[in-house]
């Protein structure tokens, strides 16, 4: 069956061409990149990341990317799986053909999922001149979160810019109640920290009665909204361009120790109050890592963690595990891809093509996050007008390291660079016993969450010195904690009760 109309032999003159040949799942990918003048270009191996993939020439002018063990690079008949060619430079999409020999629909669906992911990543090389030719979901012309989502809902909102120690410029939004008297001192400050491939908009995607950011404002809290480096709401870097690979040389470790640390410090300094911190998913990884640092945690009054993660050993998400088993993170680093942007022209076009009659994209979401019980399917188009935000390939690699190794540790550069950077063969762990016993923590997690698995949550709880208050919701998946139409009653009312039990935040 053809997923796209064009075929490989109809390709125009190419500026870049990628031909991907999927072999048996978990084995080798064959890749060809054609340069500006038609010559074959060998991708440069990544400078960071353990166990780099060997790159070598195969038959018919193809490149083979796979483990150095030659047995695992054995080619199987191409017709047994999938072949696709795509021109990235001028945004021409060529053939994406599933051969008739493929009869296993589970294998077929998995390959399509991986195809969507890979093509979105390859769009990094796009020349960016495709706006007139391809349909893609793009954000509004509003360049600020306040202007796009918050003020239109009737809530006063101000934009703030902060600079991290390594030069990134981050956006913070401050939100007040729509009915608040701005001359009255705001209530306790709450900092909201979003998850992976999301931005501060994550807290405002539903109605005013259903979105946590609005609900907290209506309860009198002084709401601050964080946006990490790389998101569309933040403002770049003091010296680097987004086109520079150094701009994307970071993982959640830097997000925790630089971005979140600077946000907490700014909110504390501005309000002269300890803060309440709310994190979701990757936002909880950042929080727990930051809480091991005494200079950061001393400014935090209490924390609420939605889908808490410090360990990922028991992730059950089908799509994620397939990418991990294929070492997709190491492949994209090897190919010199540093930025992950699923809203690129090519990525959006492929996703639209796949989802339009070929794959149930709600099922795709479930294969990533677990089955979500309660979010509003009719708002999916609106969500996709805003999400997802970019992240870095190194960040994905760090998360996949956590899955493979079962650790909560700093980034693993490999033995030799670890020795140089850390003075040890392995990266140091973030020791959760350093989180103060006196820090009040509230956690909410779900029985259908395929990313923040219950067993991994239990692992986190065993290592913490404090005894968090827990809320377990059996039928909630990973996205429900943000977008469920019942989240106010199921989750947020409990969280607000937890915060209000402390009264006003104290000053240091």
User: How many residues does the structure list for the chain?
Assistant: 508
Annotated active-site residue 37? The verdict is no
Do the bridges between strand 469-473 and strand 441-446 make them parallel or antiparallel, or are there none, so unpaired?
parallel
Peptide bond into 375 cis (omega under 30): no
109 near 81, Cβ under 8 Å?
no
Strand-pairing partners, residue 190, are 223, 276
Closest alpha carbon to 447 in 424, 405, 478, 423: 478
Closest to 310 measured CA to CA, from 291, 284, 277: 284
Q: Taking a C-beta distance cutoff of 8 angstroms, is the pair 220, 177 a contact? A: yes
Task: Determine what percent of the chain falls in helix, strand and coil, rounding each to the nearest 5.
Answer: 35, 20, 45
Residue 393 in 3-state DSSP?
A: helix
Alpha-carbon gap, residue 6 to 8, rounded angstroms: 7
CA distances from 298 to 295, 438, 507, 508 (A): 6, 11, 11, 8
Q: What are the C-alpha distances in Å from 272 to residues 265, 317, 405? A: 10, 42, 41
Q: Which of 345, 449, 453, 490 is catalytic?
A: 449
Q: How many CB atoms lie within 10 A of CB 297?
A: 19
Among candidate residues 478, 480, 484, 505, the one labeled active-site is 478
259 is catalytic: no
To 5 degrees, how large is the angle CA 465–CA 489–CA 228?
60
Told to judge if 16 belongs to the known catalytic residues of this protein, a careful annotator would answer no
Of 188, 234, 273, 281, the catalytic one is 281
Report, as residue numbers or ranges, the catalytic residues: 281, 449, 478
């Amino acid at each position: 069956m053809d997923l796209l109309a064009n075929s490989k032999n109809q390709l125009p003159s190419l500026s870049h061409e990628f031909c991907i040949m999927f072999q048996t799942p978990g084995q080798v990918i064959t890749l060809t990149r054609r340069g500006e003048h038609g010559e074959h270009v060998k991708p440069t191996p990544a400078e960071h990341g353990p166990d780099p993939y060997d790159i070598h020439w195969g038959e018919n002018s193809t490149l083979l990317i796979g483990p150095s063990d030659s047995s695992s690079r054995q080619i199987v008949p191409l017709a047994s799986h999938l072949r696709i060619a795509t021109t990235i430079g001028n945004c021409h999409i060529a053939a994406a053909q599933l051969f008739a020999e493929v009869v296993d629909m589970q294998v077929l669906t998995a390959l399509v999922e991986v195809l969507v992911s890979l093509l979105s990543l390859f769009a990094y090389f796009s020349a960016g001149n495709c706006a007139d030719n391809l349909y893609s979901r793009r954000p509004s012309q509003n360049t600020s979160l306040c202007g796009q989502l918050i003020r239109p809902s009737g809530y006063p909102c101000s934009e703030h810019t902060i600079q991290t120690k390594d030069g990134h410029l981050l956006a913070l939004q401050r939100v007040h109640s729509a009915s608040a008297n701005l001359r009255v001192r705001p209530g306790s400050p709450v900092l909201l920290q979003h998850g992976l491939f999301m931005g501060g908009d994550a807290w405002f995607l539903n109605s005013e009665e259903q979105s946590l950011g609005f609900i907290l404002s209506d309860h009198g809290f002084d709401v601050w909204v964080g946006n990490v480096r790389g998101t569309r709401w933040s403002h770049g870097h003091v010296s680097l361009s987004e086109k520079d690979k150094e701009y994307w040389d970071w993982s959640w470790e830097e997000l925790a120790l630089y971005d979140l640390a600077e946000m907490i410090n700014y909110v504390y300094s501005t309000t002269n109050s300890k803060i309440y911190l709310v994190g979701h998913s990757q936002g909880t990884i950042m929080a727990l890592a930051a809480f091991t640092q005494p200079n950061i945690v001393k400014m935090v009054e209490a924390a609420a963690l939605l889908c808490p993660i410090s360990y990922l050993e028991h992730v059950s998400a089908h799509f994620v595990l397939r990418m991990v088993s294929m070492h997709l993170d190491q492949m994209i680093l090897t190919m010199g891809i540093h930025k992950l942007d699923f809203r690129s022209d090519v990525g959006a076009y492929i996703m639209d093509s796949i989802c339009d009659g070929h794959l149930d994209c709600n099922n795709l979401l479930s294969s990533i996050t677990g089955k979500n019980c309660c979010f509003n399917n009719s708002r999916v188009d609106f969500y996709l007008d805003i999400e997802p935000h970019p992240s870095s390939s190194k960040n994905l690699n760090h998360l996949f390291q956590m899955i493979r190794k079962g650790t909560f540790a700093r980034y693993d550069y490999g033995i030799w660079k670890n020795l140089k950077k850390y003075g040890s063969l392995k990266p140091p762990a973030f020791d959760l016993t350093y989180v103060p016993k006196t820090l009040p923590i509230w956690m909410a997690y779900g029985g259908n969450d395929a990313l923040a698995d219950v067993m991994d949550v239990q692992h986190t709880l065993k290592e913490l010195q404090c005894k968090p208050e827990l809320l377990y919701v059996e039928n909630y998946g990973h996205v429900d904690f943000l977008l469920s139409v019942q989240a106010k009653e199921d989750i947020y009312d409990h969280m607000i009760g937890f915060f209000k039990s402390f009264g006003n935040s104290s000053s240091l």
